[in-house]
Each structure stands twice: as structure tokens, then as C-alpha cells.
Amino acid sequence: MGVLLFGLSHDVDSIRRGFKHVWRVRDRFGLRDLLAHLLGFKNLYDNLADLMEVEERLGVRSTFFIPVVLFRLDEVVDVLRELVKGGWEVGLHFVAEPYQRRGLVKMEREFLESLLGVVVRGVRTHNLAVDEGLMSVYAGLGFLYDSSYRMEEVGRSTPFLHSCGLVEVPIGVMDADLFGRLRLSEEAAFRYVEGKVKAAMDRGEAAFTLLFHQESFRMRGGRIYGRLVERLLELGEAYKLIDLVSKLGLGGVG
């Protein structure tokens, strides 16, 4: 059995929240972080640089899926450019709408590429609200891969060639499922992920992808990300998604 390859990814759904929201969900944060946020010393919802620091320390790179329409990108454009310069990948986080989806995907991708000076090869649909029609749109616009389906939906964690022509990179585990839907404690979530990874290895899977939202980095639950990646590196190798696809020999990535 070969080494299990891990894909690391983050969705960037928000970078700022108002006082009322933070106070309403204050039990998600440690007291020190909460005070730092409320006093204006730290923005708990902008953790891009913190994630870069953790991953730099661990010697890994990940993929950040960036939306064009959920917040003003000029608020974080400098750190996004540092991401790209430092070897991280930026993908499009498309917010699906019912009409003219092809035009919207094209517009948003071109805007992101122009802003950051990159070619955007990967896409993930916001809220994982993907369907086969949208997959065909992505394929028709020349994306290399999508990463919007949970492994439970497609029956595997290893990336594969979808019928539309895209490479699909299934999501092995997502923080919102661990702590939102399943309501696990941090230690229970850690064991749960270990169990899912072991089951994937026992099935002979080649890869397993994590999705942790960047805004959850300092929240109860999301803050296990660094420790979790350390554990995964004991079991295999970790990559940004474009490199994961390349390692598996999919999509003609060189």
C-alpha cells in the first residue's frame, strides 16, 4: 500500500463580523481571543496570515478558495498576493445563483485572476451547492478540477475523473460537519478524523482531503487544524489540491 496523500484546503466565506455577531457567538472563542477582538487588537475572522504561519512551520501548502462576491477583496488583497507568492494555491469559491451561471463563473474567475495575476485551475461551490449542470459549466470554462462533493456523496475519497471531464477532488472531512452538524468536541472530532483516515487507508484509497474554513481557525473546533495536520503528516504527505491532482497523475498537470 502506498503513502496516503492528504489534500489541504480552506474556504474563505468571511473575513469580518460585527460586534453583535461576535458577541452572540462568543462561546465559540477563548476568553483571551474574544477580548482581543472586542478591543480591536485582533480580527478573529481574518486568519489568512495565521494559517500561512502554521503551514509554513509544518512545511506544507494548501489551497484557499476565494469568493468574489461575499466581501470586498481589496481588504485582503495584499495577503492573498503573499499567499500566491509563497506557493499557496488560490481557487474560486463560486456562490451559485439560479440564472446565467456560466457568465457569472467566467466573470468572477477572470476578476480573481486579474487581481492576483494567477491562473485559477480549481473551483469549489459555496455551501457545496453543486449540481451536474454546474459541473458542466465548470468543465466548459476550462477548470481542471472541482472540489465540491463530500466523499459520502461520491463513494470515495480519492480524486477521480468526473463524467463531465473535470477532476473531482472529494472532501474527506469538513470542519462545519464536525462541529456544526455532528456537534463533536475537539477531542471527539480528532478521533473521528483519525477513524475516517484509517478507514480510507484500509479501503486502499490513495488520497483524503480536508476542508477547514479560515474563519474557524480560532474557534473552538477549528483551532485543532494545526494539530490535526501534524498527525496526518505522521501518516502520509500533505499537498495543496493542484499538487495532489498532479501527484495522482490526473488532468494532465505537470
Q: What is the 3-state secondary structure (H, E, C) of 198-224?
A: HHHHHCCCCEEEEECCHHHCCECCHHH
Residue 155's contacts (CB-CB under 8 Å, 6 or more residues apart) are: none
Which pLDDT value is given to residue 24? Answer: 67
Gap between the Cα atoms of 218 and 224, Å rounded: 9
Which pLDDT value is given to residue 26? Answer: 66
Which pLDDT value is given to residue 36? Answer: 66
Prediction pTM value: 0.92
Which pLDDT value is given to residue 234? Answer: 97
Residues 150-198: tens digit of each pLDDT: 999 999 999 999 999 999 999 999 999 999 899 999 999 999 999 999 9
The domains of the chain, with CATH numbers, are 4-247 (3.20.20.370)
Which pLDDT value is given to residue 19? Answer: 66
Cβ count near 39 (within 10 Å): 8
Give percent above pLDDT 90 in the chain. 78
Residues 80-96: tens digit of each pLDDT: 999 999 999 999 999 99
Averaged confidence pLDDT in the chain: 92
Which pLDDT value is given to residue 251? Answer: 72
Would you say residue 254 has pLDDT above 60?
no
Which pLDDT value is given to residue 216? Answer: 78
Is the Cβ–Cβ distance between 102 and 67 less than 8 Å?
Answer: no
Would you say residue 42 has pLDDT above 80?
no
Classify the phi-psi angles of 43: left when phi > 0, otherwise alpha if psi is within -120 to 50, otherwise beta.
Answer: beta
Q: What three-state secondary structure class fits 33? A: helix
Is the Cβ–Cβ distance between 145 and 248 less than 8 Å?
Answer: no
Would you say residue 1 has pLDDT above 60?
no
Which pLDDT value is given to residue 154? Answer: 98
